[in-house]
Amino acid sequence: MEENKHATAELTAERSLEIITQQIEQSRRDVSRRTGQSLFVAGLCTMGMAIVVAAVNLILFENGYGGLGHLLWLLLPAVIWLASRQSNKDHEPAPVSIIGKLVGKTWLTFAIFALGIFIVSTIWNSILVRSTTPDVFMANRIMMGPIVILLMCMAVSITGWILKSGWLVWFGIIAGLLFSTGLYTGIGEGIIAHLGTAKSVVMMQYVSPCISVFLIALIGLMLPGLMLKRNK
């Protein structure tokens, strides 16, 4: 009789431990999916904004106002917040994890730096263009595109470290070096110059940052977000 009670107690303890383990694993998956959903939505919104900005820049370029479309980037944080809120509306609240917090703080820090350099460079370049010659302006302007791209890729790489995703870490590093260097040196414009006209070179200056942002958001935000949503 005592042996049966002891065996029953052991089975009960084992079953309780199994249930607790399953609940912890399910909670981990829920948190992982919620983090993936946030990255996925942010990636989609960023890609969509890149397309809109590029299209607006091309339209405004024909009217002599090329580059003004980049002001639409200021709306991106609000767009991502609204889209994230809408996508999570029908889901049960998930526990807040340290992983989700770290990823969120990483991209919040990027947004603050990117917004800051955007504002500072816009003000500085506006002052230069009105008070100096074109040669002085070209020599002293702040090229915000390469800086923002580098910051974005750093955020992607840090996200990779947080999620323990080696390929994401290396993508952020390699993409940051390639895209920021390409934008700063004007490699894309140089290639276009050999293949097209002077007009197409100027148009490329307004579109190339959008192409870079689109690709980084696709591979560095949307893809890992999709993988986390599917819990792969």
First to last CA, the chain: 48
Q: What is the pLDDT of residues 95-139, one digit of tens each?
A: 567 777 888 899 989 999 998 998 898 889 889 888 888 888 778
Which is more confidently placed, 172 or 141?
172
Compute the distance between CA of residue 70 and CA of residue 152 in angstroms, rounded to an integer: 16
Q: What single-letter amino acid sits at 4?
A: N
Residue 113 CB neighbour total at 10 angstroms: 16
CB of 187 closer than 8 Å to CB of 205? no
Helices 187-195, 166-185: inter-axial angle, 10-degree rounding: 60
The encoded tokens of residue 77 equal 């944080």
Q: What is the pLDDT of residues 156-178, one digit of tens each?
A: 999 999 888 899 999 999 999 99
- Can you say how many angstroms the Cα of residue 101 is from the centroid of all Cα atoms in its chain? 16
Surface-to-core class of residue 30, CB atoms within 10 Å of its CB (0-12 exposed, 13-18 middle, 19+ buried): middle
Three-class SS state of 1: coil
Compute the distance between CA of residue 163 and CA of residue 79 in angstroms, rounded to an integer: 25
Compute the distance between CA of residue 232 and CA of residue 219 in angstroms, rounded to an integer: 16
Compute the distance between CA of residue 203 and CA of residue 200 in angstroms, rounded to an integer: 5
Among 54-68, 189-203, 213-227, the least confident range:
189-203
CB of 58 closer than 8 Å to CB of 215? no
Compute the distance between CA of residue 198 and CA of residue 211 in angstroms, rounded to an integer: 20
CB of 69 closer than 8 Å to CB of 53? yes
Radius of gyration of the chain (CA): 24
What's the pLDDT score for residue 46? 94
Which is more confidently placed, 200 or 152?
152
| Assessment of whether the complete model's pTM goes beyond 0.85 | no
The encoded tokens of residue 173 equal 């590093």
> Which residues have CB under 8 Å from 158's CB, separation 6+?
106, 172
Domain boundaries, the chain: 2-90+98-229
The encoded tokens of residue 207 equal 């579109």
